[in-house]
């Protein structure tokens, strides 16, 4: 009579298959892929945010430079010329920009820009940018502020730009 050995054979086959590593890479990839995608998307959004920040700062520096030498290369106001130099997303509040850029230029400590080594021109550019959250966590908006101050190098003889009115946003 033959001995019944199917249970030990079945368990031995099961243990042998469990020791095999076929498909292990696929499981590890499935575990790592979501985390990797979150990191990549985070890097992309951080890069866009830094790009907007750099553009706002550069616009403020450009505005302060033109105002300090009493220059306006455009036909309208200096503020309008500076905004025209901004990328379209910052001009029209499209994409991640929720509030379009605004430019504020003023002289200090007086309201007239006289070249006397004490008067300065301050330019401020602001824009509001939104950033997404991850799985409903985080996200929101942030106001980017670029500010630049330069000494007045050329006094106003005939003003080619007018100081902004109202309070400075920065």
pLDDT in tens, 47-103: 999 999 999 999 999 999 988 887 778 788 888 899 999 999 999 998 889 999 999
- CA 101, 107, 113, 118 dihedral sign is negative
Q: Which CATH architecture has domain 25-151?
A: 2-Layer Sandwich (3.30)
State pTM to two decimals: 0.76
Nearest to 103 by CA among 74, 141, 140: 74
| Mean pLDDT in residue range 133-138 | 73
User: Domain residues of the chain, as ranges?
Assistant: 25-151
pLDDT for residue 3 is more than 90:
no
pLDDT of amino acid 32: 94
Report CA torsion sign: 10, 14, 20, 25.
Answer: positive
């Amino acid at each position: 009579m033959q001995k019944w050995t199917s249970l030990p054979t079945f368990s031995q086959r099961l243990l042998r298959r469990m020791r095999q590593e076929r498909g292990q890479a696929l499981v590890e990839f499935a575990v790592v892929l979501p985390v990797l995608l979150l990191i990549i998307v985070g890097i992309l959004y951080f890069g866009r945010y830094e790009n907007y920040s750099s553009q706002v700062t550069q616009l403020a520096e450009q505005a302060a430079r033109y105002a300090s030498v009493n220059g306006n290369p455009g036909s309208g106001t200096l503020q309008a010329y500076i905004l025209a130099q901004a990328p379209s997303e910052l001009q029209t509040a499209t994409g991640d920009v929720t509030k379009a850029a605004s430019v504020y230029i003023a002289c200090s400590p007086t309201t007239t820009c006289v070249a006397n080594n004490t008067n300065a021109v301050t330019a401020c550019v602001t824009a509001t940018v939104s950033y997404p959250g991850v799985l409903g966590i985080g996200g929101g908006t942030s106001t980017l502020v670029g500010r630049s101050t330069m000494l007045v190098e050329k006094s106003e003889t005939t003003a080619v730009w007018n100081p902004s009115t109202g309070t400075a946003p920065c």
